[in-house]
Amino acid sequence: MDVMGDKANLFGTGRFAQSSGREETGDEAQEAADEAAEEVRQRLAAEAGDVEAMSVLGAMLLRRGDLDGAESHLRAATAAGDRAAANNLGVLLHQRGYADEAAGWWRIAAVAGSAPAAHALGRHYRERGDEPAAEYWLRQSAEQGHVLGAYALADLLEHRGDAGAEKWMRAAAERGHREAAYRLARTLDRRSARESCGGEGAGAGAAEEAEQWYRQAAARGHRRAALHLGAILEKRGELKEAGRWYLTSAKDGEPRAACALGFLLRDAGDSESAAVWWLRAAQDGDGNAANALGALHAERGETQTAERWYRAAMDAGDDNGAYNLGLLYAEQGRTAQAEQWYRRAAYAGHREAANALAILLLTSGDETGAEPWFSKAAEAGSVDAAFNLGILHAGRGEDRAALRWYEQAAAAGHTEAALQVGMALLRGGDEPEAERFLRCAAGGGSAEAAYRLATLLDARRPPEPAHELGESAHEKTECEEWYERAASQGHRRAQVRVGMLAAARGDVVEAARWYREAAEAGSRNGAFNLGLLLAREGSEPEAVVWWRRAADAGHGRAALRLALVCARRGDLAEGQRWADRAVTLGPGEVAERAARLRDALREELSA
pLDDT 10s digits, 262-290: 999 999 999 999 999 999 999 999 999 99
What is the pLDDT averaged over residues 311-320? 94
Band the pLDDT of 14: cuts 50, 70, 90: very low
Give the dihedral sign, CA 494/496/502/504: negative
Q: Say which residue, 235 or 465, is predicted with more confidence.
A: 235
Is residue 468's pLDDT more than 60?
A: no
| Range in 39-43, 217-221, 294-298 with the lowest mean pLDDT | 39-43
Band the pLDDT of 31: cuts 50, 70, 90: confident
What pLDDT is attached to residue 463?
Answer: 62
User: Residues 52-65: pLDDT tens digits?
Assistant: 999 899 899 998 88
What pLDDT is attached to residue 49?
Answer: 87
Band the pLDDT of 11: cuts 50, 70, 90: very low
Among residues 113, 50, 60, which one has the least CA distance to residue 87?
A: 113
Residues 604, 571 contacting (CB under 8 angstroms): no
**CA distances to 277, 457, 490, 499 from 432, in Å:** 53, 11, 27, 28
| Range in 61-70, 143-152, 315-324, 457-466 with the lowest mean pLDDT | 457-466
Q: Omega before 587 cis (within 30°)? A: yes
| Range in 7-21, 228-242, 581-595 with the lowest mean pLDDT | 7-21
**466 DSSP β-pair partners:** 472
Amino acid in the structure at residue 579: A
* Cα–Cα distance, 416 to 428 (Å, whole number): 19
**CA distances to 3, 121, 192, 377 from 128, in Å:** 21, 11, 36, 46
Residues 137, 118 contacting (CB under 8 angstroms): yes
User: Residues 138-155: pLDDT tens digits?
Assistant: 999 999 999 999 999 999
Band the pLDDT of 201: cuts 50, 70, 90: low
Band the pLDDT of 37: cuts 50, 70, 90: confident
Residues 233, 245 contacting (CB under 8 angstroms): yes
- Share the mean pLDDT of the chain: 89
* Cα–Cα distance, 40 to 49 (Å, whole number): 14
Q: How many CA atoms lie within 13 A of 401 on its CB side?
A: 12
Among residues 403, 114, 253, which one has the least CA distance to residue 122?
A: 114
What is the pLDDT averaged over residues 75-103? 91
Among residues 50, 125, 112, which one has the least CA distance to residue 86?
A: 112
Q: Say which residue, 256 or 537, is predicted with more confidence.
A: 256
Question: Is residue 131 classed as helix, strand or coil in its secondary structure?
Answer: helix
Is residue 194's pLDDT more than 50?
A: yes
Among residues 455, 419, 460, 459, which one has the least CA distance to residue 436?
A: 419
**472 DSSP β-pair partners:** 466
Is residue 24's pLDDT more than 80?
A: no
DSSP state of 82: -
Is residue 510's pLDDT more than 50?
A: yes
User: Residues 344-402: pLDDT tens digits?
Assistant: 999 999 999 999 999 999 999 999 999 999 999 999 999 999 999 999 999 999 999 99
Question: Is residue 164 classed as helix, strand or coil in its secondary structure?
Answer: coil
What pLDDT is attached to residue 202?
Answer: 54
